[in-house]
Amino acid sequence: MVALLGGCAGSGEPLSAGRTSAASAPVRLWPDRKPAPQPETGTGDNLPAAVPGVPRVPSGDIRKAPLLTVVKAQVAAGSALGGGPQFDSATTRKIDACADEPVHCPVRKPQYQDLTGDGTAELIVGIEAPDASLALWVFKLHHGVVTRIMDAGATPLSVEIANGDLILREPTGTPGYATRTVYAWDARTQTMALRAMEFDEADPATPGPKRTP
């Protein structure tokens, strides 16, 4: 089937713009191939995790949770990806010394944004590593308990919040392009889940991250 595009001449009469190819339906390759099994659920970073050692916050305002207490407790708990250490020993020492040596503290200023749509703010924590990577944690209160709902790492050009989504832009090996990764609240898993990952044109005004030798 071929569609015709048209417009109007100056007199108001229809004017043909020529022929255009009709869209074709997708063709599935190897339809007899058995689909891959669904991945197992209920492990690792697919689940929210209460942070051990952090006092309850009965007020319901996560801003009342002491930042460094939350950070140190999460560091002690280990990464969601296997439970191992998330930082090298030098970065861990700097985190431990944040209160006494704030100028060398790798913990960024805490951010508070409503990411779950319930009208209350979540705590967003960023921790810098020597290789220009950034550990990103998101915490929410669940019945007064500080609970981690996101644990991710990136080497971002930028981090932003838009319509409740957390968006990371990272450099690629292709000049002029960046990856755009979107995390969004998933009510089913009660976590900030990976929603989309795509290539996007890089913003020339955004400098790339500086790396140490």
3 state SS of 81? coil
pLDDT in the model for residue 77: 87
Strand pairing report for 122-128 and 111-113: antiparallel
pLDDT in the model for residue 24: 81
- Ranges of residues in the chain with a pLDDT under 50 are 2, 42-44, 81-82, 208-213
Comparing CA positions, the residue from 102, 103, 149, 104 lying closest to residue 125 is: 149
pLDDT in the model for residue 43: 47
Judge residue 126's burial from the number of C-beta atoms within 10 Å of its C-beta, 0-12 exposed, 13-18 middle, 19 or more buried: middle
Longest alpha-carbon distance in the chain: 80
pLDDT in the model for residue 174: 87
Give pLDDT tens digits for 24-55.
Answer: 888 989 989 888 887 665 444 568 999 999 99
pLDDT in the model for residue 201: 83
pLDDT in the model for residue 9: 56
pLDDT in the model for residue 213: 34
Give every CB contact of residue 124 below 8 A, 6+ residues apart in sequence: 110, 111, 112, 113, 115, 136, 137, 138, 166
| Cα–Cα distance list, 33 to 29, 30, 38 (Å) | 9, 6, 15
pLDDT in the model for residue 211: 36
pLDDT in the model for residue 15: 62
pTM of the model: 0.77
pLDDT in the model for residue 124: 98
pLDDT in the model for residue 210: 43
